Structure formats: structure tokens, C-alpha cells
Amino acid sequence: MSIFDYFRSAKKDTASIAKERLQIIVAHERNQRNKPDYLPKLQQELLEVIRKYVDVDQDQVEVQLDNNGNCSVLELNITLPERA
């Protein structure tokens, strides 16, 4: 394979490869309207568990916490670092 072929194939890969992502959703549906206050605390612990298996860059973690009636939702969107 010539150096030109190498770049051609490398370029193709870059174009076709989307970023690697991890999404974690925790939804708690309660029968009472007192909000579960453990979801914010849970967030950090979940990340610690995930970190045992994949590299997570703290800057690449997007956290969303919603309370909608008696449903509380914790959403973590993580963009994983690209490997060399």
C-alpha cells in the first residue's frame, strides 16, 4: 500500500466515524410528589462505576436533571475520548 492509499483510507475513516458516545438515563417515577434527592448524588457515583470500564473526561460529561410531576430524570451524556 502506498502512502497515498494510506491517507485515502484514513480520510475515509475519519469521515465515516461518528464520535463514540455514552448516555445514561435514570428515571424515578414516584407515587408521591416529594422529590427523590438522591439523583444528584447518584450522578457522581454512576460516573465512578462507568470510569472502571471506559475513559471519561469530566469536561465531556453533560448532566441534566428534570423533575416533571412525580417523575425525576437524571440524564448523563458523555462524549468518549477518541482512541489513537
Residues 44-63 interacting with its own copies (rule: CB under 8 A):
45-46, 49-50, 52-54
Determine the Cα–Cα distance for residues 28 and 69; give it in Å rounded to an integer: 11
Contact yes or no for 26/39 (Cβ under 8 A): yes
Please say which residue, 3 or 15, places its beta carbon nearer to its own copies.
15
- Residue ranges of the alpha helices (H) in the chain? 3-16, 39-51
Q: How many helices (H) and strands (E) does the chain have?
A: 2, 3
For residue 23, the minimal CB distance to its own copies (Å) is 4
Please say which residue, 22 or 63, places its beta carbon nearer to its own copies.
22
Binding site for its own copies (CB under 8 A): 17-31, 36, 38, 41-42, 45-46, 49-50, 52-54, 82
